[in-house]
Amino acid sequence: MPSLQDQLLKAGLADEKKAKAIKKQKKDQAKQRKQQPKGTQQVNETRERARQAREEQAERDRMLNQERQEAAHRKAIQAQIRQLVETHRLERRDGETPYQFAHGSKIKKLYVTEQMLDQLSRGRLAVVCLEGQYDVVPEAVARKIQERDPEAVVVLHERKQDDEATEDPYAGFEIPDDLMW
């Protein structure tokens, strides 16, 4: 059976030149389709998905690395605090006087000497908590610990005046000789 194009040419409804132009156009289109690789759109989508997956993985790696660095930093600070406490803790073996203080919502008790009790109340000594153990350290050490971790210092009273510099407010008044006590 002859093609539709041949039938139109015999009937005189189509021109020979137009038929050749249409054939040439079809061949060019077929050639272009053959030159263009199959699935280029799929390849581009695959590349895009792969690029996106790499970016997401890189972001997860950055976040994980940042968390590790923060953990290492916290660990280093805890090691510094431990070293400060271990080198500067005051011995309280012979302490018989109880010193009570609040830690969180609980009342804790340490046995200290009378001199330590006086210095704790004046702010010259402080109580620190390290790994569940309470120790007494000098004020300067407690301030260093407080800079690193404010929660480690449990008790540190503020000094209002230094005892050596304290003057008697009644020093200018004379005591009468006839005062009866």
- pLDDT of 104-154, one tens digit each? 888 988 888 888 888 888 889 999 988 888 899 999 999 999 898 888 888
Specify if 171 maps to a domain.
no
CA distance 75 to 70: 9
Per the CB < 8 A criterion, the answer to whether 108 and 102 are in contact is: yes
Kindly indicate the confidence band of residue 76, based on its pLDDT and cuts at 50, 70 and 90.
very high
Half-sphere exposure of 41 (CA within 13 A, CB side): 0
- What type of residue is 175? I
Specify if 73 maps to a domain.
yes
Q: How many domains are there within the chain? A: 1
Range of the domain at 60: 45-162
pLDDT over threshold 60, residue 92: yes
Please give the model's pTM, rounded to 2 decimal places: 0.55
